[in-house]
Structure 1
Amino acid sequence: MKVSIATRLAVMFAVASLAVFSLVGFALKRVLHRELDQHQLSEVNTRLDYASMMIARNDSAERWQGVRNKLDALTPLDGSARFWVMCPDERFQYGDQLELLRERLSTLPNGPFVLDLDEHSLRASARRIEANGQRPAVELVTAVDSTRFIGTQKAFTGALVALCLGGVALVALLGYRIARMGLAPVASLSREAQSLSPRDLSQRLKPSPLPRELGDLVTSFNGALDRVERAYAKLEGFNADVAHELRTPLTNIIGQTQVALSKERTADQLEEVLQSNLEELDRLRAIVNDMLFLARADQGATALDRVHASAAEEVSKTVEYLEVLQEEAGVTVRVEGDAQASFERSLFRRAASNLLLNAIEHSEPGAEIVVGISRRDSEVRVAVTNPGAPIPEPHLERLFDRFYRADGARRNSRDNHGLGLSIVKAVAKMHGGTVFATSAEGRNTFGFTLSSTPTVMASTLPAQAPHEAPERTDAPLLERSHPGTS
C-alpha cells in the first residue's frame, strides 16, 4: 500500500513531537520531584528546629507536660506530621509506637531519611538533644507524611502523559494539514503534467507561481521536454529523409524494370537495364550499411583493436587510395603535421576518406586540399581544409547530422545520401573525440579529434566497414555516391 507524502510527514511530525514532549515531560517531572522533596525537607527541618528549641529549654519533669501539650498542638489531626521523643527516662518520652520505632531505627541516621510506618511513607529527620537539668539527653524524631506529595506527583504525571499524547495527536493533525497545503503545488503540477498531450510536443509546464524548488524542477523538466521535442522532430525528419533516399533508387529500379518488360528487349538492352538496377541496388545497400553502422555507434559501440600509430601515415595511405578521384576532379592534396594516436585503422581511414571525398567533391579544379594533423593536450586533431563558398553559421552546426545538406542544389548533392559526415562523427565518438566545422576567408574546414585515452569497449562493430580506405590494392575505387556533403 502506497502511503502519501503528507501522511509520512504527519507521522514524522508525531514521532518528533513525542520525543520532544517526552524529554520535556521527563525534565518537568524531575524538577517537580526535586521541588517537592525540598518542600518536605524544609517542613521537616522547620518542625525539628522548633521542637528542638522547646525540648532544649526544658530541664525538669514538671515542665515536660507543657512540652507535650505544644507537640500535640503541632501535630495535625490527619497525622500528616508526627513527633517522637525517645529517652531512657519514661517521664521524658513522647509519641506512640516507640518500641516499633526503636526496632525500625536501631541506629538513628544522620540527616533526613524515609520511615515506613503504619503503611505510610514518612519523610523524617532525627536530632540528639543534650541533657539539661533533670532531663537526660533525648532523641527527637520529626516526620512528615509523603502521601500527599506522592499523590501530587502521580496527578502531575497523569496530566503530563495526557497532555503529551494530546499534543502529539494535535501536532500530527496539524502536520498533516500543513503538509497537504505545502504539497498542493505538487498536486497541481501533477495534474498539469497529466494534461500534456502527446499530440502537441510544444506544451510546457508553467514555472510560476511555484516554490523555488519546484520551479527548478519544472525548468529541468521543461528542458527535458525541449530535448524530446527536438529529438522527435529530428527523428521525424530523419525518417522522412530515409524514406526519400530509399524511394528514389527503388522508384528507378521499378520504373526501369517496367519499361524493360513493356516489350521485347535484346540481350544487350536487358543487360543495360540490369546494370542500371545493380547500381541502384548497390546504392540501397550502401545506405543500409551506413545506417547499421550509425545505429551500432549510437548504441555505445567503441573502437576495437586500437593501435598506436602515425596519423599522417594513415592519412597518406588514404590520399594515395583516392588518387584517381583527385586526378578526375583536378585537385591536389597536401598533408601537414603528424602526431602519434591510438585508433582503429579501418575506422580512422573511413573517417579520413569521407572528409577527403567531401572536400574533393566541393572543390573547383586546380584547388589544393590541406589535411592538417596536430596534437592539442590529450587529443589528436585531424582537419581537412578546401577552398569553397562560405557556409552560413546555422548550417555549420548541423552539417554532421544525418541526411543534412546545406544546399541541395550544389554539385553532386543528388549523388550523395548525406551520411558521410555523420559517419565521421560516429567514428570520432567511438574514439572518445568530437567533430568540428569552420568556414572563413573562402576556406571550409571539416575535421575530428581522437582522444589519447582509450575508451571502455561497449560493443563491437564490423571490422571491415563500408567505404573504409584499405591499403593500396587493385580493388575498385570507393563509390563517390557515399561521402557526406557540407
Structure 2
Amino acid sequence: MSKAASSSPHVTGSATGHSIARRLALMFALAAAGVFFAVGVALYNIQCNELHRHQRQEILTRYEFVESLIARRMFNTEKWALLESKLKELTPQEGNVTYIVTSDDPRYRLGTPFPSDVKTVKEGGGVQRVFMPERTYLTLSGRVPPLGDRPAVMLTVGVDPSAFDTTSHALNVALVIASLFGVAAVAALGWWIARRSLAAVDDLSRHAQELGPKKLSERLPVCKLPGELAGLVLSFNGALERVEQAYMQLSTFNADVAHELRTPLGNLIGQTQVILSRERSVAELEEVLQSNLEELERLRTIINDMLFLAQADRGMRADNLVRASIAQEVGKSAEFLDMLLEDAGCSLKIEGDAEAAIEPSLFGRAITNLLYNAIQHCDRCSAIVIRIAESEDGVAITVSNRGMPIAAHHVERLFDRFYRVDSSRTDSRNSHGLGLAIVKAIAVMHGGTVFAQSRDNETTIGLTIAHGIAR
C-alpha cells in the first residue's frame, strides 16, 4: 500500500481535466462577456442615438439658416443671385451637402432635384433617407412662403451621413475589440487569482500524497488556511485520526487473533509430537486425544465467536423476537452457571423485572457472558447482583460484582475484541477476550447499547434492550 502511494503520480488541480482554476477562469470570462455585452449594447444604443441626433441637428441647422435667408431677404432676382453665390460657398466640394430649391418660376430654382423614382425612407421628424446611386442623403424639406417678387419655393437640404456612419462603425469596432480584450484580461486575471487562491489546495494535496501506513500519526496542516478549507481539513484530520485508531485496533486484533489461535495450535502440535516420539499405551493416547479435543473445542469456539461478530458487523439484527420476562430469562441463564458460582463461593441476586422483545438464545448468550465475567472477577463470599430496570428507552440489565477495581482507561475498552485488563493473558485458557464484545454485538442487534463502570471495589457491566425493534 505504501509503495503504491509513493509511486502514484503527483496530481494537482492544474494537471487534471477538471481544473477548478480553469473552470473559475471560464466562469469569470463568461460573466465578463455578459457584462461587457450588456454594457456594449447600452453604449452602442447611446452612441447611435447621439450620432443620429447630431445628424438631425446638423440638417436642421443648415435648413433653418437657408430658410431664414430665403424667407427674409430673397424677394427678387438680384437677391436670389446672391443666395445662389452664398449656397455655393456653403456647399463642400466633396458634395456631401446639397441644397435644392424648386419653384414654379424657373428663375427661383437651385440645385438638381432628386429623381422622382428614387428610393426614400422616412426616419421621423420630417427627415428622410434618400438612396442615390452614388451616395445616400439625409434630407429635410419645407415650403418657404412668397416674399416680394419671389413666389413660394420648396427648400430641401441634404447631408451625406457616411461620415457619421464611419464614426459609428469605428466606435463599434473599438467597442468590440475593447470588450474582447476585457474578457481575455478578466479570464487571465481570474485564472491567476484562482491559482493563487487554490495554492493552499495544492499544498494540501502534496501533504496528502505523503500520508501512508508508516505515517499514521501525521495530519494535514491547518495553520494559514482559508476559512473555507479549515473546516474541511479539520474534518479530514478527524477522519485520519479515526482511520489511525481503526488501523491500530485492526493491527492489535490481528495480533490477538494470531496469539489466540497459536496457543491451542501449539498445544496440539506439541502434544502430538510428544505422543508420537515413542510408543504409547492406549490410556496415554486417550489422554492426549482428550486434551487435543479440548484445544480443538477452544479453536472452534474462537472461530464461531469471530464469525458471529463478523455477521454483527454487517448489520445483522435479532430475529424471532418474543416478548418475555427479563428476570425469567436471566434465571434460566443463571441455572447453567450454578456450579461455577459455587466454585467461586459467590451468590446471585436478581432484582426487578420488565418485559421486552428479545431473541431468547442471543439474550441468554449475552447474560451468560456477563455472569461468567462477573464470576471470574468477584471476591469470594460476595454476591453478584443482577438489576433489571425499565426506562423510556428500553430495559437496562446490569451485573455488579465486588472485586478489584478497574482503571478508567481499561473500563473504556472492556467491550473491545480480545481486550483484557490483564495484558499478560494469564487466563487465556479460560477466556479468549470476546465475551463482552459479543455482549455489545447482541445489545446492538436488539437496538440497545452497553455500558460499564468501576468504583468502590464494585464493577458494574450491563446492556440495554429496546422495548421493540422497528422493522
- For the criterion TM > 0.5, the same-fold answer is yes
- SS of equivalent to 1:72: helix
Match of 1:360 in 2: 375
Aligned AA for 1:71? L
Alignment partners' CA distance in 2, 1:133 and 1:374:
128
3-state SS of the aligned residue for 1:415? coil
- SS of the aligned residue for 2:364 comes to helix
CA distance in 1, matches of 2:123, 2:144: 13
Give the C-alpha shift of residue 8 in structure 1: 3.1
Match of 1:266 among 258, 277, 281: 281
Between 354-363 and 56-65, report the one with greater CA deviation.
56-65
Shift of 1:413: 5.8
SS of alignment partner, residue 215 of structure 2: coil
Structure 2 Cα separation of the partners of residues 109 and 92 of structure 1: 29
Letter in 2 for 1:157: N
Q: Provide the residue aligned with 2:318 in structure 1.
A: 303
- RMSD of Structure 2 on Structure 1 (CA): 2.9
1:22 paired residue among 37, 46, 52 = 37
Letter matched to residue 282 of structure 1:
E
Cα distance change on mapping 1:415 and 1:117 into 2, 3 Å: same
Mapped contact 2:121–2:128 kept (Cα < 8 A): no
Match of 1:251 in 2: 266
Identity over aligned pairs, percent: 49
Tell me what 1:337 maps to: 352
| TM-score, normalised with respect to structure 2 | 0.86
CA deviation after TM superposition for structure 1 residue 213, in Å? 3.4
Partner of 2:178: 163
CA 1:94–1:312 in structure 2 vs 1: closer, same or farther (change >3 Å)? farther
How far 1:32 moved relative to its partner? 1.0
User: How far apart are the structure 2 equivalents of 1:25 and 1:121?
Assistant: 27
Taking a change above 3 Å as real, the CA distance of residues 448 and 145 of structure 1, as seen in their structure-2 partners, is same
CA distances 1:357-416 after superposition (whole Å, capped 9, x unpaired): 212222234333232333443343222222223211111100001111113579956511
Task: Give the secondary-structure state (helix, strand or coil) at the position aligned to 2:315.
Answer: coil
| Correspondent of 1:404 among 419, 436, 443 | 419
1:437 aligns with 2:449: no
Asked if the contact 1:10–1:172 (Cα under 8 Å) also holds between the matched residues in 2, the reply is yes
- Higher deviation after alignment, 297-306 or 330-339: 330-339
**Which of 229, 233, 238 is the matching residue for 2:248?**
233
Question: Paired residue for 2:68, among 46, 50, 53?
Answer: 53
Residue 388 in structure 1 maps to residue 403 in structure 2: yes
Q: What is the rounded CA distance, in whole Å, between the counterparts of 2:110 and 2:353 in structure 1?
A: 120
Q: Relative to structure 1, is the Cα distance of residues 362 and 156 closer, same or farther in structure 2, using a 3 angstrom cutoff?
A: same
Equivalent residue letter for 1:222: N
2:51 is aligned to 36
Amino acid corresponding to residue 98 of structure 2 in structure 1: R
- The answer as to 2:110 corresponding to 1:94 is yes
Aligned pairs (5 A) from 1:87-236: 87-98=103-114, 100=115, 111-236=126-251
Distance 1:208 1:107 in 2: 72
**Pair 1:429–1:337, CA change in 2 (3 A):** same
Q: State the partner residue of 2:332.
A: 317
Aligned mates of 2:207, 2:425 — CA distance in 1: 48
Structure 2 counterpart of 1:467: none
What is the SS of the residue equivalent to 1:199? Answer: helix
Gaps of 5+ in 2: 1-15
In the other structure, the counterpart of 1:475 is: none
TM-score (norm 1): 0.84
Cα deviation for residue 298 of structure 1 reads 1.7
State the AA in 2 paired with 1:406.
V
Give the gaps of 5 or more residues in structure 1.
Answer: 457-486
8 Å CA contact 1:408–1:414 kept in 2: the answer is no
Q: Distance in 2 between matches of 1:223 and 1:260?
A: 55
Q: Which moved more, 1:445-454 or 1:289-298?
A: 445-454
SS state of the match for residue 297, structure 1?
helix
